[in-house]
Structure 1
Amino acid sequence: MSAIVSVENLSVVFDDFTALDNVSIDVFAGESFGLVGESGSGKSTLLRSIAGLAPPAGGTMRITGRELRGRDRDKAFYRAVQMVFQDPYGSLHPRQTIDRQLMEPLAIHGARDGERRILKALDEVGLGSGFRFRYPHQLSGGQRQRVAIARALILEPSILLLDEPTSALDASVQAEVLNLLEQVRHDRKLTFVMVSHDLGVVTHMCDRLAVMQGGRVVERLTSDDLAGGRIDEDYTRNLMVASKGFRRHAEPITQGAASPSRP
């Protein structure tokens, strides 16, 4: 089976800093692939390089067998690949209605069935047509991220690049958005490449993952390996300890101890 996303020996350098050092990953069609690591490990840089936002210094990238060169991405690429960013507050234009922001990619790509696509995308993310003519400041953080997901889906891509899509949201909203993404992937048979610092999220969402440290991939695992503790690298074990909410067993509360407060 050939990979739908293939990265081989990719390097990215900013001034004198090497952000990615000979990174290689393969992601197969319909798969959800996770990139995890501490801040500065290079996981978001890898995602942005695939999207054309971080120019490579070396290596090759291919989408559906087609090689990507430098920052150049044509319309065919953006019809196939869309990105959802971490911050739902910064990814939407504050002075444009939701309708206009959903219409913009359709106008760029010459889609003639914009009305149908807008209604379908909003319905798919659980918002409905009543949100079309609102402004971002009139929406909650979770609703804004749903709009960002709708905008990514509106061109009907086959691959979504997800950069910490729930980390800026309240804990009560995170699960709703993750469940939405999982449902969308199932319904549309999408391929995900997902960055997260939370190993619990990655275990729930992803089939396989690459653990990154210092711009390199230090370990490759399945989500079952991670949940079962079948890990080779101490760095990955430390990430498990540090990752918020990654607990397979609740710790018993000793008699007389205060009950833990809810987040």
Structure 2
Amino acid sequence: MLDVKDLEVIFTRGVERVHAVRGISFRVEKGESYGIVGESGSGKSTVLRAICGLAPTSGGEIAFDGNPLPAPRDAAFYRRVQMVFQDPYASLHPRHTVDSVLSEPLAIQGFDDRENRIERALEEVGLGQGFRFRYPHQLSGGQRQRVAVARALILEPEILLLDEPTSALDASIQAEVLNLLDRLRAERGLTYILVSHDLAVVSHMCERLLVMQHGQAVEELARNALRARAAQTDYTRRLLQASVGYSRKDAA
């Protein structure tokens, strides 16, 4: 469904050049949940931004349903592909109510029946109508991220790009949002591309994953290989070891 070939992203500021993504390639099938993992600065979030047109593509090709994506992305693309950002405190306009946040994409795309769509979107993410006219400062972090998920889903897209969707949330709230995303994917047959530094999150959510370091692909793993800790490269093995965390034996 989505095919990324030899993707290059270079940022320039004056004479300074940052080669953020270096020749990344992967394919995501319809209905699959695909993970991209790596340390901070590895380029994983930039890959998502390049897919949705928020980062410049300096080389390579991104194809959707076999067709190269236009630059800039058109309205038809955003009707089918939506993104959920990392920080629920920054991704919602502080002076817009939840109703305004959900109404805007419907107006842009020319959807009718907005009233029912907003009500249904809020119910699907477990908020209900009592939240409709609240402002972001009246919501918890988990509630804000549910609104962000509702905003992404209200256009009934086929693909969700998830950029660390739970990293800014408390551990207990993370589980709620991940379970919500899991349920919605099963109910709607959605395709996910999930970026995370947390291997436990990726193992829970994704069938396959790509490991990145310094803008490059290190290796691709299936979920079973990840859970069996059957990595092929030293870098992935170190990531797996780091994900285990502190133990008394390590400190001895």
- Which TM-score applies when normalising by structure 1? 0.91
Cα deviations by residue, 1:76-128 (Å, 9 ceiling, x for unpaired): 10110000000000000000110011000000011011111101110000000
Residue of structure 2 in register with 1:62 after alignment: 63
Q: What is the deviation of 1:215?
A: 0.6
Residue of structure 2 in register with 1:137 after alignment: 137
SS state at 2:23 partner: strand
Residue type of the alignment partner of 1:14: F
Question: What 5-or-longer segments of structure 2 have no aligned partner?
Answer: none
Runs of 4+ in 1 over 4 A off after TM superposition: 250-253
Residue of structure 1 in register with 2:193 after alignment: 193
Q: What is the deviation of 1:252?
A: 9.2
Distance, in Å, in 2 between the alignment partners of 1:120 and 1:241 is 43
Q: What is the deviation of 1:69?
A: 3.4
Residue of structure 2 in register with 1:226 after alignment: 226
For 1:1-263, what aligned pairs fall within 5 Å after superposition? 4-15=1-12, 16-70=17-71, 72-243=72-243, 246=244
Distance, in Å, in 1 between the alignment partners of 2:67 and 2:120 is 30
Cα deviations by residue, 1:39-89 (Å, 9 ceiling, x for unpaired): 11110000100010001110000111221133x111110110000000000
C-alpha RMSD of matched pairs (Å) = 1.4
Work out whether residues 229 and 240 of structure 2, in 8 Å CA contact, stay in contact via their aligned partners in 1: no
Work out whether residues 159 and 190 of structure 2, in 8 Å CA contact, stay in contact via their aligned partners in 1: yes
Work out whether residues 11 and 56 of structure 2, in 8 Å CA contact, stay in contact via their aligned partners in 1: no
Question: What 5-or-longer segments of structure 1 have no aligned partner?
Answer: 254-263
Cα deviations by residue, 1:153-178 (Å, 9 ceiling, x for unpaired): 00000000000000000011000000
Work out whether residues 35 and 194 of structure 2, in 8 Å CA contact, stay in contact via their aligned partners in 1: yes
Work out whether residues 79 and 155 of structure 2, in 8 Å CA contact, stay in contact via their aligned partners in 1: yes
Distance, in Å, in 1 between the alignment partners of 2:84 and 2:241 is 27
What is the count of residue pairs matched by the alignment? 245
SS state at 1:46 partner: helix
Q: What is the deviation of 1:223?
A: 0.9
Work out whether residues 4 and 27 of structure 2, in 8 Å CA contact, stay in contact via their aligned partners in 1: yes
Cα deviations by residue, 1:207-231 (Å, 9 ceiling, x for unpaired): 0000001111110000110100111
Q: What is the deviation of 1:33?
A: 0.1
Work out whether residues 8 and 59 of structure 2, in 8 Å CA contact, stay in contact via their aligned partners in 1: yes
Cα deviations by residue, 1:175-233 (Å, 9 ceiling, x for unpaired): 00000000000000000000000001000000000000111111000011010011111
SS state at 2:168 partner: coil
Percent identity of paired positions between Structure 1 and Structure 2: 62
- Which TM-score applies when normalising by structure 2? 0.95
Distance, in Å, in 1 between the alignment partners of 2:213 and 2:146 is 31
Distance, in Å, in 2 between the alignment partners of 1:252 and 1:236 is 23
Residue type of the alignment partner of 1:199: L
